[in-house]
């Protein structure tokens, strides 16, 4: 049984090498999903969640492949982006997505996934999605964007989520990172979504800095270390990990809000992916939940676990 270690106190990783990290780093859709697919495949070997991780690897491969030839996503106007900036709002409005382009992305993903080997339950869910009328598909899109995925239709929404990740990553990649501003605790400055996890990076000029990783568009935004990413508290912050592990994935717990968000030490292992490794460390979630903390981040591929 995994045990809690280092339950409280400061993060033991040195912080002194941080220089001047940028506030935000935009996603690179041409690399984001192919690298995630590689990571999931690598993690699947010998893992108790191996079949599921291999399925997600295949899905990420599809996310990468369907981008070729997609129409340019409909960006908000310059005036709308500036208005959002002035009011401290994300420029990409999840409540008003360009459903026409998103629908094309979803159609492409459904067609491509149909050719992919997948579990029977996943194939059944795909069939239900194929048969859904446009209004029901739009409702699924709204559910994902509201982080309100119904338990009885989880599997169908996984595919919708995968398509929306592609759609919003392509939108976010076309923003100006220098124009992004903080929009609230635990919210992506590009699209307003919650983080999947946070990472400590080893980039030149930013070594040791922490970035939250958006669960939807893949944007990274800088966040102070030893500070809750959800409520902003610097009191009662602790770190938990699986004893005997490599020490590269920990849960940052907050006694103020009772939540936790995983923190991945990518500067120690550059292969760590904020979405893939979050799923692969489900055992850490179980450990921390037993301690009474709630998951404060959002990963659509972990709903139901």
Burial category of 198 from C-beta neighbours within 10 Å (exposed 0-12, middle 13-18, buried 19 and up): buried
Are residue 164 and residue 115 in the same domain, yes or no? yes
Residue 5 lies in a domain: no
Are residue 165 and residue 221 in the same domain, yes or no? no
Are residue 70 and residue 159 in the same domain, yes or no? yes
Residue 130 lies in a domain: yes
Q: Are 208 and 218 in contact (CB under 8 A)?
A: no
3 pLDDT band (50/70/90 cuts)? very low
Q: What is the pLDDT of residue 28?
A: 97
Q: What is the pTM of this model?
A: 0.91
Residue 17 lies in a domain: no
- What tens digit of pLDDT does each residue of 246-276 get? 899 999 999 999 999 999 999 999 999 999 9
Q: What is the pLDDT of residue 244?
A: 84
Are residue 148 and residue 236 in the same domain, yes or no? no
Residue 23 lies in a domain: no
Measured between alpha carbons, how far is 224 from 210 in angstroms, rounded to an integer?
A: 7
Domain span at residue 43 reads 29-178
Are residue 36 and residue 171 in the same domain, yes or no? yes
Which residues fall within 8 angstroms of residue 123, CB to CB, at 6 or more apart?
none
Are residue 159 and residue 213 in the same domain, yes or no? no
Measured between alpha carbons, how far is 290 from 292 in angstroms, rounded to an integer?
A: 5
Rounded mean pLDDT of 221-233? 92
Helices assigned H by DSSP within the chain: 29-44, 50-65, 78-86, 99-113, 120-131, 134-145, 154-173, 276-280, 282-290
Are residue 169 and residue 47 in the same domain, yes or no? yes
Nearest to 158 by CA among 145, 144, 148: 144
Q: What is the pLDDT of residue 132?
A: 93
Calculate the average pLDDT of the chain: 90
Residue 20 lies in a domain: no
Place of tokens 């990518």: 266
Rounded mean pLDDT of 140-162? 90
Residue 2 lies in a domain: no
Are residue 40 and residue 104 in the same domain, yes or no? yes
Is the model's pLDDT at 67 over the cut of 60?
yes
* CATH assignment at residue 280: 3.90.1670.10
Domain boundary among 140, 157, 178: 178
Rounded-to-5 percentages of helix, strand, coil across the chain? 40, 10, 50
Reduced to 3 states, what is the DSSP secondary structure of residue 242?
A: coil
Tally of domains within the chain: 2
Q: Which of 95-99, 157-161, 288-292 has the lowest mean pLDDT?
A: 95-99
Q: What is the pLDDT of residue 10?
A: 44
Residue 122, both tokens: 């996943």
Are residue 170 and residue 184 in the same domain, yes or no? no
Is the model's pLDDT at 286 over the cut of 90?
yes
Domain boundary among 120, 152, 178: 178
Reduced to 3 states, what is the DSSP secondary structure of residue 249?
A: strand
- What tens digit of pLDDT does each residue of 175-193 get? 999 999 999 899 999 999 9
Rounded mean pLDDT of 215-237? 94
Tell how strand 249-254 and strand 259-265 pair up.
antiparallel
Q: What is the pLDDT of residue 235?
A: 93
Rounded mean pLDDT of 79-101? 86
Handedness of CA 78, 79, 83, 89 (dihedral sign): negative
Neighbours of 186 (CB within 10 A): 21
């Amino acid at each position: 049984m995994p045990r809690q270690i280092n339950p409280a106190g400061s993060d033991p990783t040195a912080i002194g090498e941080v220089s001047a990290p940028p506030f935000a780093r935009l996603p690179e859709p041409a690399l984001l999903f192919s690298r995630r697919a590689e990571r999931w495949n690598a993690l699947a070997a010998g893992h108790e969640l191996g079949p599921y991780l291999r399925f997600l690897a295949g899905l990420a491969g599809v996310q990468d492949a369907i981008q070729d030839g997609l129409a340019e996503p409909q960006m908000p106007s310059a005036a709308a982006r500036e208005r959002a900036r002035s009011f401290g709002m994300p420029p990409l409005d999840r409540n008003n997505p360009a459903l026409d382009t998103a629908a094309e992305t979803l159609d492409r993903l459904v067609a491509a996934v149909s050719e992919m080997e997948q579990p029977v339950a996943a194939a059944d869910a795909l069939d239900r999605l194929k048969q859904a009328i446009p209004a029901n598909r739009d409702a699924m899109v709204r559910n994902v964007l509201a982080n309100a995925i119904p338990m009885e239709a989880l599997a169908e929404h996984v595919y919708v989520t995968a398509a929306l990740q592609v759609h919003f990553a392509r939108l976010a990649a076309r923003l100006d990172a220098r124009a992004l501003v903080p929009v609230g605790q635990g919210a992506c400055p590009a699209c307003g979504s919650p983080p999947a996890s946070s990472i400590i990076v080893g980039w030149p000029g930013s070594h040791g800095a922490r970035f939250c990783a958006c669960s939807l568009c893949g944007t990274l935004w800088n966040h102070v270390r030893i500070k809750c990413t959800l409520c902003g508290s610097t009191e009662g912050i602790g770190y938990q990990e699986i004893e005997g592990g490599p020490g590269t994935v920990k849960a940052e717990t907050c006694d103020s809000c009772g939540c936790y968000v995983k923190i991945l030490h990518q500067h120690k292992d550059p292969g760590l992916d904020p979405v893939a490794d979050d799923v692969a460390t489900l055992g850490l979630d179980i450990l921390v939940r037993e301690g009474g903390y709630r998951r404060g981040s959002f990963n659509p591929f972990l709903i139901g676990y």
